Amino acid sequence: MSLYAVYFSPTYSTEKIVKLIANEMGDYNEIDLSKRNEESNYIFDENDICVIGVPSYGGRVPSIALDRMKDFRGSNTSAILVVSYGNRAYEDTLRELGEFLQDRGFNCIAAVTAVTEHSIMRQFASGRPNEKDKRELKGFAEDILKKINSSRKNERIEFVGNYPYREYKGVALKPKAGKLCNECGICAKECPTGAISLENPKNTNSTQCISCMRCISICPDKARKLNPLLLKLASIKMKSECEKEKSNELFI
């Protein structure tokens, strides 16, 4: 039996949740779907356990994450789903991820939805997961482990969400390099979609950019930013949906 921590996590929040849960279960192998060169043709055994996490983008699984898992093959492999979201809503994300994996031979036995600091408007759910969250999520992992070690270990969960899945139209906010950019190229190397030119890192292909905020989160000189006026307007629009504190959830 092998344990896998699988995640698409441009700003590292989903990665933290997936690893926190996997760590309670033992030693694990990592599969980072944020990397452009990550292999995708993994074949998992019946006795393997996969903790698979994605952020919710507009209530959907990021299409690039699905694309990088399209060649995953399970053999009735137990999957624990993790969906992170920035304190608005995860809507159809959990169902979409679960049905996608189910179609590839995975048995989805548990799921966790976790609130993390919003990747764009960071004032929402700022600092989450906090220490209280971490204790709760570790408790979730312990409950999942109890299920795995019981007669219920193969019971499949019901997926929350709707089908057809909600339409995702993308995000208009796109990071741009400012005067502080010294063209070190770190953002270009780390961009999950390759939207930033290696030859000229100040150039960003707005069509390829998925507004994942990886470039902003890793820039050592904080040279990449969003348009402040558009960001302020988006924050005002989202305030009513995002300011009330949401709770983490366990489906088991």
Structure tokens at 70: 């399209």
d(C-alpha 157, C-alpha 144), whole Å: 12
The reported pTM is 0.96
pLDDT in tens, 36-51: 876 678 999 999 999 9
Mean pLDDT of the 148-175 span = 96
Q: Say yes or no to pLDDT of 23 above 90.
A: yes
- % pLDDT > 70, the chain: 99
pLDDT of residue 138: 98
Q: What is the mean pLDDT of residues 7-20?
A: 98
Residue-level pLDDT at 175: 97
What secondary structure letter does DSSP report for 208? T
pLDDT at 40: 78
Q: What are 105-122's pLDDT values in tens digits?
A: 999 999 999 999 999 999
State mean pLDDT over 66-73: 97
Side-chain half-sphere CA neighbours of 230 within 13 A: 10
What average pLDDT does this structure show over 142-152? 97
Can you list the positions of beta strands (E) in the chain?
Answer: 3-7, 29-32, 49-55, 77-85, 106-115, 176-177, 224-225, 249-251
**What residue ranges define each of the domains in the chain, with the CATH number in brackets?**
3-165+246-251 (3.40.50.360), 176-225 (3.30.70.20)
